[in-house]
Chain A
């Protein structure tokens, strides 16, 4: 897929480019589409869309496509693209930025599980100060299985339960499952950081809705 450059609105393109550059701290103007990142992209084969295409989408101001594609969700953050880039663009950071923007703008994730997973992880680690593998996996699975149930996909829900129970049982057998709750006494600070992060997210979202656009506080 090569994004069309014939439909091009310089004004809307500039807004998108500015926001991505500012938030990702990467100079995407330097991209000359050599596609070295594409050849190194770990998930390129699965997604069909590679970092070079993503950058092209941003440059041409195609906001919709840039925020709603497989790479934004399936990128595994291995940062290989960045190590290969001759212009030192860390496209992995661009992808992460787009993922955050896409959630702020309420784009429905192509793969909701990935969003559930990262949310469950962050909530778990900010709740106790440390991540409890059992607990956050529990939250994640509740959301995941719940999604199947509300869509009346009982077979999928059942398969997921069987899969995770089997994994859990084998982990238990290898003594790799720990039931003790791990906490950090200083989790107040961690919780405070979480609150600050939520506030920052809300500000970004409101600014966009009220048409102020993106600004860094």
Chain B
């Protein structure tokens, strides 16, 4: 199976190891990810705050490239990119004149028939097809992850997404398959503050403090996420916001690919997991998973 792949700026820079892990695991599952040629930035949430036209036009360029390269489906692991592409697609669908205006500037025109999938949807599809069968060599016993979806995968404006909006279960399904015991907790779709960590840190640290407090309280021993922004925020600022909120525990913040990788027998070091700010090796060693 061949799927188009849009990494986005973050997966080529600060979260490069997420890109590496995604490619590795899907190739082991027999899914070929082909990075679309010469993609550009989707504008993230900033474009939407700058100008409506720009917010639709920037992702449209990537949609055009993927479609004209003959792909039916495109994987976008970054939640922010996923959400902005989905929004652009929906807006173009309902506004023919906007689509014509944008297509007028594009070398690769958009027809709007591309199916966008996030990383959980593609993993779940692989699970349903039985591609994980006999691939899970290690049961992640003792791992009690807080599945943190963040705000961008569960929902993109008025676009319907596959999982439950308030209580998504995709990550739980996958991690239960690997033998982990995901905990039920209250902040799975809460917002980490995203860029506010830089431009409005007081607000963002309060939000992140609440998330971690709840994860600790419900007895989780790690956090799992699919979003590079959530991962960076909860990881890089954990020392700071925990001190502010009076939390003594520190939880490693894994990408979903890392836990699936461990259960498939891929060593953490091959997945560049040393790039976390909060140590991720201690917990899995303690539980004798690696």
- Interface residue ranges, A against B (CB under 8 Å): 23, 42-43, 45-46, 74, 76-80, 82-83, 88, 90, 92-93, 96, 99-100, 111, 113-114, 116-119, 121-122, 125-126, 129-133, 137, 140, 167, 170-171, 174-178, 182, 184-187, 189-190, 192-194, 196-198, 200-201
Nearest Cβ on chain B to A48's Cβ, whole angstroms: 12
Chain B 262-276 interface mask (CB, 8 Å, partner A; 1/0): 000000000010111
Chain B 25-50 interface mask (CB, 8 Å, partner A; 1/0): 00000000000001111011111111
B12 at the interface (CB under 8 A from A): yes
In the bound complex, do residue A197 and residue B9 qualify as a contact, i.e. CB atoms below 8 Å apart? no
Q: Which residues of B contact A186 (CB under 8 A)?
A: 38, 40, 61, 107
Q: Which residues of B contact A174 (CB under 8 A)?
A: 274-277
Complex alpha-carbon distance, A74 and B202, angstroms = 11
Complex alpha-carbon distance, A46 and B200, angstroms = 11
Give the contacting residue for B199; candidates A113, A167, A170, A197; CB below 8 A: A113
Complex alpha-carbon distance, A18 and B208, angstroms = 37
Complex alpha-carbon distance, A130 and B157, angstroms = 24
Give the contacting residue for A42; candidates B107, B165, B191, B232; CB below 8 A: B191
**Interface-side segment among B51-59, B66-74, B139-147, B173-181:** B51-59
In the bound complex, do residue B191 and residue A193 qualify as a contact, i.e. CB atoms below 8 Å apart? no
Q: Which residues of B contact A192 (CB under 8 A)?
A: 105
Q: Which residues of A contact B52 (CB under 8 A)?
A: 23, 100
Given A76-B203, A133-B14: A190 in contact with B40 (beta carbons within 8 A): yes
Q: Which residues of B contact A93 (CB under 8 A)?
A: 157
**Most B-side CB within 10 Å, residue of A116, A137, A194:** A194
Complex alpha-carbon distance, A37 and B76, angstroms = 29
Given A83-B165, A174-B275, A189-B107: A100 in contact with B13 (beta carbons within 8 A): no
In the bound complex, do residue B43 and residue A125 qualify as a contact, i.e. CB atoms below 8 Å apart? yes
B15 at the interface (CB under 8 A from A): yes
Across the interface, name the chain B residue whose C-beta is closest to A79: B155
Q: Which residues of A contact B198 (CB under 8 A)?
A: 117, 137, 140
B284 at the interface (CB under 8 A from A): no
- Interface residue ranges, B against A (CB under 8 Å): 9-10, 12-16, 38-41, 43-54, 57-58, 61, 102, 105-107, 151, 154-158, 165-166, 189-191, 193-196, 198-200, 202-204, 206-207, 232, 236, 272, 274-277
Across the interface, name the chain A residue whose C-beta is closest to B195: A117
Given A121-B46, A186-B107, A201-B51: A176 in contact with B199 (beta carbons within 8 A): no
Given A80-B151, A118-B46: A190 in contact with B61 (beta carbons within 8 A): yes
Nearest Cβ on chain B to A159's Cβ, whole angstroms: 11
Q: Which residues of B contact A131 (CB under 8 A)?
A: 9, 41, 44
Complex alpha-carbon distance, A77 and B156, angstroms = 10
Complex alpha-carbon distance, A113 and B195, angstroms = 11
Given A78-B191, A122-B47: A184 in contact with B40 (beta carbons within 8 A): yes
Nearest Cβ on chain A to B154's Cβ, whole angstroms: 8
Complex alpha-carbon distance, A96 and B46, angstroms = 10
In the bound complex, do residue A74 and residue B44 qualify as a contact, i.e. CB atoms below 8 Å apart? no
Complex alpha-carbon distance, A96 and B240, angstroms = 29
Give the contacting residue for A182; candidates B12, B54, B157, B206; CB below 8 A: B12
Q: Which residues of A contact B14 (CB under 8 A)?
A: 133, 171, 176-178
Complex alpha-carbon distance, A131 and B10, angstroms = 8
Complex alpha-carbon distance, A192 and B58, angstroms = 10
Give the contacting residue for B50; candidates A118, A132, A190; CB below 8 A: A118
Q: Which residues of B contact A78 (CB under 8 A)?
A: 151, 190-191
Complex alpha-carbon distance, A182 and B38, angstroms = 11
Nearest Cβ on chain B to A66's Cβ, whole angstroms: 16
In the bound complex, do residue A176 and residue B15 qualify as a contact, i.e. CB atoms below 8 Å apart? yes
